[in-house]
Amino acid sequence: MNWNTSRIGTIYLPARLKEKMIQHTRECLPYETCGLLSGTTNRVSSIWKLESEIKHRYRYFVSKDTVDKTMKDIQSKQEQVLAIYHSHPTAPPVPSKEDILHHPEPHICMLIVSLQAKSTTWKGYTIAHGHYYHRPIVIV
């Protein structure tokens, strides 16, 4: 597969999907949760809420079977995974060592929603070579 540089650029996220994502992270409090954002090129068109199979305040786990099933659904819509989101119920929106270690691919954006403060904050990252870099996400 050719490295497609357009896939490491800005991600365009419709406001209603951003709201759904934040709602999902709030519903799961006090525990961490996660999900996928898929679409075509760099524009998100679907959200896939995943259920963490462990209830933990700063860790989440989703089995390979669940991920594979969701990936099939995404492919059947001719979409690609653009971002993986997860929540930080009590920490700022900064990738942890574990987050960096377990991130599957550099072109997939890591999006972290922090519920630490009264107002929700969230940030996008590119993870590569054990480091994280800011990834622009534009709400459309």
- Residue type at 115 in one-letter notation: L
Query: Does 99 interact with Zn ion (rule: CB under 5 A)?
Result: yes
- Angle subtended at Cα 124 by Cα 121 and Cα 127, rounded to the nearest 5 degrees: 135
Rounded to a whole number of angstroms, the minimum distance from the CB of residue 85 to Zn ion is: 10
Select the residue whose beta carbon is closest to Zn ion and give its number. Answer: 99
Query: Does 122 interact with Zn ion (rule: CB under 5 A)?
Result: no
Cα–Cα distances in Å, from 84 out to 47, 103, 118?
10, 9, 23
| Candidate ranges 4-12, 71-79, 99-107, 129-137; the one touching Zn ion (CB under 5 A) | 99-107
Rounded to a whole number of angstroms, the minimum distance from the CB of residue 94 to Zn ion is: 8
Rounded to a whole number of angstroms, the minimum distance from the CB of residue 42 to Zn ion is: 23
Q: CB-wise, 96 or 121, nearer to Zn ion?
A: 96
CA distance 40 to 20: 19
Residues that bind Zn ion (CB under 5 A): 96, 99
